[in-house]
Amino acid sequence: MFAHHQQRDMRAPMPERPSLRFAASTEHQAQVAAHLTARDRWLARMLAEHRVLTSPQIAAIAFGSRRSANHRLQKLYTWRVLDRFQPYIGRGRAPMCYVLDTAGAHLLAHEDGLDSKDLKFRPERSVGIAYSLRLAHLMGVNDFFIALLADALAHASTDRAVTAWWSEARCTRHFGDHVRPDGYGRWHEAGREIEWFLEWDTGSYQLSRFVSKLPGYTKLATATHIVTPLLAVFATPAREAHARRHLAEHLRTDPRRHELPIATTTAEHLRTAGSPAHEVWLPLHHTDAGRHRLISLLSAWPHLEGPASSTGTSTDPSSADTSGTDPSPVPRLSPPAPMPPWQADELTWNPMR
């Protein structure tokens, strides 16, 4: 988890070895539907929402072992529920990356009562993320949330859960008039809940670009009357320190700076800690106490405690409604539940009939 993804290190995916795969006919889709588990369907929705997940990520949140994960993923690939590619990274061997394929998209559309033609799913566009210049960025964002899911599943007997995970695309549809975060999430622990927007830095752009997004976040807070923290992950400690100086200078003269609590960390801290839920977060104006656990950020920002911290961010920038309704009229698949539909002690391989 939290591999150091650099886009410049990734090349065109390695050629896939010839493999027998079924044609994505209507008859095939009907046969496959009878053999899909709740886990398969949840995984397909995860990929519809978050575009790409690696085999280690999938194993961490949906299977008891890499071996069982690879066994099942091979079947889903053969059935065209999922497609896959393997980035070429020059040194070593990159993990296999999985995306949604035709049979998976059509089956999910049927579940949602949608006409698959209206969905306008294009398999070449789905697997086209392999050639995107944003692949490393997307993999970093997904690493962040996968680590939180794995943390919650590893402590299933305690009060921990990811209660929301929105993709960049979903955030853009709901908040794009104000700002376009890389993700939105909510974390529940020990009877408390914190929400946030995520900005993931790969170190490939000027920090002034990041700072220029701050007014959009404060405008969104004004429009929704909900103060939502911003969590920023930077590529290196030096870049984090540089960014914090920029952020402090920008907010020093902003009369609405209290509407945008900010905490930062680095990819290095996340790799060491293993989970964003641990003591990795440094609030912008509360550095004396050192780095905080994710849920403990509420202590640094006491004005977040209360009804607003448990109701979640508005799905519509002009209101505080939390129904999760997509404002776009374009037919879309329903998003997945943020937590998988089983308990951690059930993450064992169960062969299909």
pLDDT in tens, 2-55: 655 555 555 556 556 556 666 667 777 778 899 999 999 999 999 999 999 999
In a domain, 52, yes or no: yes
Per-residue burial over 203-234, b if 16 or more Cβ lie within 10 Å, else e, is eeeebeebeeebebbbbbbebbebbbbbbbbb
Same domain, 114 and 168: no
**Are 120 and 29 in a shared domain?**
yes
CA angle 255, 256, 261 (to 5 degrees): 130
User: How does the average pLDDT of the chain come out, rounded?
Assistant: 84
Q: Is 140:54 a contact under the CB 8 Å cutoff?
A: no
Between these two residues, 69 and 259, which has the higher pLDDT value? 69
| Interval 188-214 mean pLDDT | 92
**Same domain flag for 111 and 140:** no
pLDDT band of residue 320 (cuts 50, 70, 90) is very low
Q: Same structural domain for residues 227 and 195?
A: yes
How many angstroms separate the CA atoms of 350 and 315, rounded?
37
Domain identity same for 90 and 141? no
99 compared with 8, residue with greater pLDDT: 99
Residue with token string 């930077």: 234
Q: Looking at the domain assignment, is residue 92 inside a domain? A: yes
One domain, residues 158 and 279:
yes
- Strand ranges inside the chain, DSSP E: 11-14, 53-54, 82-88, 97-100, 160-166, 183-189, 192-200, 230-234, 262-266, 282-283
Q: Which region among 39-43, 61-65, 279-283, 313-317 has the lowest average model confidence (pLDDT)? A: 313-317
pLDDT confidence of residue 292: 96
Three-state DSSP state, 246: helix
State the pLDDT confidence band at 303, using cuts at 50, 70 and 90: confident
Instruction: Look at residue 119 and tell me whether its pLDDT is greater than 80.
Output: yes
Final residue in a domain of this structure, among 98, 133, 168: 133
Q: Is residue 58 part of a domain?
A: yes
Residue among 78, 89, 95, 102 nearest 18 (CA): 78
Q: Of 144-148, 322-326, 328-332, which gets the smallest average pLDDT? A: 322-326
Q: For residue 348, what pLDDT band results from cuts at 50, 70 and 90?
A: very low
Question: Are both 192 and 224 inside the same structural domain?
Answer: yes
- 342 lies in some domain: no
- Whether pLDDT at 353 is above 50: no
> What pLDDT score was predicted for residue 12?
58
Evaluate whether residue 321 is within a structural domain. no
Per-residue pLDDT for 308 more than 50? no
Does the pLDDT at position 135 exceed 50? yes
> What per-residue string of b and e applies to 282-317 under the rule 16 or more CB within 10 Å gives b?
bbbeeeeeebbbbbbbbebbeebeeebbbebbbbbb
pLDDT band at 312 (very low <50, low <70, confident <90, very high): very low
The arrangement of strands across the sheet holding 160-166 comes to 160-166, 183-189, 192-200, 230-234, 262-266, 282-283
Same domain? 260 vs 195: yes
120 and 233 both lie in a single domain: no
Q: Are residues 71 and 149 in the same domain?
A: no
What is the gyration radius of the CA atoms in the chain, in angstroms?
Answer: 20
> Do 272 and 190 lie in a common domain?
yes
Residue whose C-alpha is closest to residue 209's, from 180, 170, 174, 238: 180
Among 80, 101, 133, give the residue marking a domain's end: 133
Question: Could you tell me the residue range of the domain that residue 123 belongs to?
Answer: 7-133
Distance CA 75, CA 216 (A): 44
Which among 107, 133, 159 is the end of a domain? Answer: 133
Q: Is residue 335 part of a domain?
A: no
Is the distance from CB of 100 to CB of 47 less than 8 angstroms?
Answer: yes
pLDDT of 345 above 50: no
Contacts of 247 (CB under 8 A, 6+ apart): 211, 214, 262, 264, 284
Assess if residue 240 is contained within a domain. yes
pTM for the predicted model, two decimal places:
0.86
The count of domains in the chain is 2
Q: Same structural domain for residues 121 and 208?
A: no
Q: Which two tokens stand for residue 167?
A: 């993709």
| Token pair listed for 343 | 């308990």
| Strands of 15-144, DSSP E | 53-54, 82-88, 97-100
Residue 164 lies in a domain: yes
Q: What is the pLDDT of residue 101?
A: 95
> What CATH number should be reported for the domain holding residue 117?
1.10.10.10
